[in-house]
Amino acid sequence: MPIYEYLSESPEDPERSCRICRQGFELRRPVDRPALEQCPLCRFPVRKVISKVNTPRIAKPLSVSDAKSAGFTVLERRDQGVYEKL
Ligand SMILES: [Zn+2]
């Protein structure tokens, strides 16, 4: 079941958002259910945050070995204007 992230339509307006949807919240919903349109707590409109779906919360920095195994050529700066292929 995918996890969707929702955020208040007006997070800067305390009259139209609550502590939950102001910061955004995650919700597990079956794919065949319609998207949530209201905050379950305060009933004000929320929108789905698309960009965060399927994105890890903490982005791992790409290591040299990861980059190499992904097929990237890793260049490391050795000297002024000189790059060595590793
Ligand atoms: Zn709310």
Q: What is the pLDDT of residues 26-51, one digit of tens each?
A: 888 787 888 789 999 999 999 988 65
Q: Report DSSP letters for the chain, one per residue.
A: --EEEEEESSTT-TTS--HHHHH-EEEE--TTSPPP-B-TTT--BEEE--TTTT--SSPPPPPHHHHHHTTPPPEEEEETTEEEE-
Using the mean position of ligand 1's atoms as its centre, give its distance from the Cα of residue 25 in Å: 9
Tokens of 54: 């399927």
pTM of structure = 0.54
Distance from the CA of 13 to the center of ligand 1, in angstroms? 11
- Centre of ligand 1 to C-alpha 7, Å, is 9
Average pLDDT (5-27) is 93
Mean pLDDT taken over the chain: 80
Ligand 1 centroid – CA 50 distance (Å): 18
Question: How far, in Å, from the CA of 12 to the mean position of ligand 1?
Answer: 12
Provide the pLDDT for residue 14.
93
Question: Pick from 58, 59, 60, 55: which is nearest to 5 by CA?
Answer: 55
